[in-house]
């Protein structure tokens, strides 16, 4: 049975991998719509490559260029917020949600439709508004399937037992580019060094999050909402080979793990056709050739952003929303060369601390989440300015 598909974030790394999966299975999928950010040429090329019926840019200013690139193709186009909503409103069985950052929250939430599957690669939808997002998905009748390799592995591993018997759900981390570096050397790291991920090819922001291990903290928050597992039963294990992506420790002492080569096409294929595996022409995992797999505990002294994320998860309420907003502001500043590596943590920790006493409840709606996000961004921008002035 052919399934119709809409891809949000079609020109990013997840979108490109999704295109490879779809084109390898031409009888399985038909692409209804593709959505991109600002690159009209790249989005038009992707739309034509996939035979999409509609293409939308988030940047309204790019509509003229998009129309020009699509001229004669028969593919409809649009740009701006209205076009994004049109894309998710079009008839499709599956929406692959891969718009990066908090910018992906509103269109991903708008994509929730009865009976529709959301292949979720936008973790911020759950970090910023997890309680509201998952409640709306249940109420509407939309299915959420994780695309992140760690959560996809956990989803499969959890099928081996019952939720009440889960002792610990563990996601893995490569350790990033600074796994073996001293704290002093990390402190002097450049944005280029922090963005050099040792295994995965991802966007620049997520690469920086991987170097601070904030990405693993955000993934713990995501796992909490996806699988209804509390903070005390979630953990991170550093595994530089990136072969084991998620593990479940059961109450009887058994351990179930999800293993795969580090290729995003594997979890994407699983998320698109859950419980109906696609026959993918990909390299097979050869454990004998690999020889050994290594594991170690995450060092939260050298990587305090992970500790900050764990604290936000335990605190609950609005703290994950605040954490994510402050981190986005701080990471952008680091990438721009305005602050040093450990200033990311200092800004995030300072903003989170300023919100603790307020004890704000978890956002009940996406609108509430975005309002708290905006407030936290303003606080982070003020903290950033103070940091820059102090460093001058």
Here the CATH number for the domain that contains residue 78 is 3.40.50.720
Query: Which token pair is 1?
Result: 């049975």
Query: Which token pair is 171?
Result: 């996601």
C-alpha angle with apex 186: 246 to 316, nearest 5 degrees? 50
3-state secondary structure of 347: helix
Residues 15, 107, single domain; the answer is: yes
Token pair 């186009």 is at which residue?
Answer: 77
With bands split at pLDDT 50, 70 and 90, how would you rate the model's confidence at 392?
low
Residues 36, 122, single domain; the answer is: yes
Residues 309, 325, single domain; the answer is: no
Residue 20 has pLDDT above 70, yes or no: yes
Number of structural domains, the chain?
3
Token pair 């479940």 is at which residue?
Answer: 248
Please identify, among 95, 123, 146, the residue that sits at the C-terminal boundary of a domain.
Answer: 146
pLDDT tens readout for residues 270-326: 999 877 888 888 999 999 999 999 999 999 999 999 999 999 999 999 999 999 999
Residue 311: left if φ>0, alpha if ψ -120 to 50, beta else—which one? Answer: alpha
Supply the mean pLDDT for the chain.
Answer: 95
DSSP states of 112-162: --TT-EEEE--THHHHHHHHHHHHHHHHHT-EEEE-SHHHHHHHHHHTTS-
Q: Does 83 reside within a domain? A: yes
Residue 199 has pLDDT above 90, yes or no: no
Do 312 and 326 form a contact (C-beta atoms < 8 A)?
A: no
Average pLDDT over residues 40-44: 97
For the stretch 256-266, what's the b/e string if a residue is b when 16 or more beta carbons lie within 10 angstroms of its beta carbon?
bbbebeebbbb
N- to C-terminal Cα distance for the chain? 62
Please identify, among 87, 113, 146, the residue that sits at the C-terminal boundary of a domain.
Answer: 146
CA 362 to chain centre: 20
Measured distance CA(142)–CA(85) in Å, rounded: 17
pLDDT tens readout for residues 200-259: 767 788 899 999 999 999 999 999 999 999 999 999 999 999 999 999 999 999 999 999
pLDDT tens readout for residues 321-370: 999 999 999 999 999 999 999 999 999 999 999 998 888 899 999 999 99
What was the pLDDT predicted at 289? 95
Domain region containing 254:
155-261+288-314
Residues 64, 163, single domain; the answer is: no
Residues 168, 249, single domain; the answer is: yes
DSSP states of 129-142: HHHHHHHHHHHHT-
Position with higher pLDDT, 246 vs 123: 246
DSSP states of 180-230: T--HHHHHT--HHHHT--SS----HHHHHHHHHTHHHHHHHHHHHHHHT--
Query: How many C-beta atoms surround the C-beta of residue 180 within 10 A?
Result: 8
Query: How many C-beta atoms surround the C-beta of residue 36 within 10 A?
Result: 28
Residues 108, 231, single domain; the answer is: no
Residues 202, 108, single domain; the answer is: no
Measured distance CA(96)–CA(12) in Å, rounded: 12
Residues of the chain above pLDDT 70, percent: 99
Residues 233, 325, single domain; the answer is: no
**Residue 50, H or E segment:** helix 40-50
Do 376 and 355 form a contact (C-beta atoms < 8 A)?
A: yes
Measured distance CA(374)–CA(219) in Å, rounded: 22
What was the pLDDT predicted at 119? 97
What was the pLDDT predicted at 389? 81
Residues 243, 125, single domain; the answer is: no
Residues 164, 308, single domain; the answer is: yes
Measured distance CA(276)–CA(264) in Å, rounded: 18
- What does pTM read for this prediction? 0.94
Here the CATH number for the domain that contains residue 338 is 1.10.1740.10
What was the pLDDT predicted at 3? 94
Residue 102 has pLDDT above 90, yes or no: no
From 374, 382, 375, 387, select the one nearest 345 (Cα to Cα).
Answer: 387
């Amino acid at each position: 049975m052919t399934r119709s598909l809409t891809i949000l974030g079609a020109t990013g790394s997840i979108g490109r991998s999704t295109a490879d999966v779809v084109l390898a299975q031409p009888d399985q999928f038909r692409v209804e719509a593709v959505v991109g950010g600002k690159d009209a040429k790249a989005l038009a090329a992707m739309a034509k490559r996939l035979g999409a019926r509609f293409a939308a840019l988030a940047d309204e200013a790019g509509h003229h260029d998009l129309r020009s690139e699509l001229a004669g193709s028969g593919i409809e186009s649009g740009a701006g917020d209205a076009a994004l909503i049109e894309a998710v409103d079009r008839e499709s069985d599956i929406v692959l949600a891969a718009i990066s950052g908090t910018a992906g929250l509103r269109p991903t939430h708008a994509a929730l439709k009865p009976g529709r599957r959301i292949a979720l690669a936008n973790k911020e939808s759950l970090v910023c508004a997890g309680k509201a997002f998952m409640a709306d998905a249940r109420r509407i009748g939309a299915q959420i399937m994780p695309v992140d390799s760690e959560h996809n592995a956990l989803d499969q591993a959890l099928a081996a037992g019952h939720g009440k018997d889960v002792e610990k759900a563990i996601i893995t981390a490569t350790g990033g580019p600074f796994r073996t570096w001293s704290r002093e050397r990390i402190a002097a790291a450049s944005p280029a060094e922090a963005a050099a991920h040792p295994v995965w090819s991802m966007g620049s922001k997520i690469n920086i999050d991987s170097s601070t291990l904030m990405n693993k903290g955000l993934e713990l928050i995501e796992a909490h909402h996806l699988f209804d597992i509390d903070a005390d039963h979630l953990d991170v294990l550093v595994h530089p080979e990136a072969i084991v992506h998620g593990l479940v420790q059961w109450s009887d002492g058994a351990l179930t793990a999800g293993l795969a080569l580090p290729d995003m096409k594997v979890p994407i294929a699983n998320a698109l056709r859950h419980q109906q595996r696609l026959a993918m022409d990909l390299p097979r995992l050869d454990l004998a050739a690999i020889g050994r797999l290594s594991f170690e505990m995450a060092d939260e002294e050298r990587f305090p952003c992970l500790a900050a994320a764990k604290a936000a998860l335990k605190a609950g309420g609005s703290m994950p929303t605040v954490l994510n907003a402050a981190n986005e502001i701080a990471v952008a500043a680091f990438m721009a060369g305005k602050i040093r590596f450990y200033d990311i943590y200092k800004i995030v920790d300072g903003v989170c601390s300023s919100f603790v006493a307020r004890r704000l409840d978890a956002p009940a709606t996406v609108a509430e989440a975005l309002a708290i996000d905006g407030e936290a961004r303003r606080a982070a921008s003020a903290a950033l300015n103070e940091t820059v002035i102090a460093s001058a």
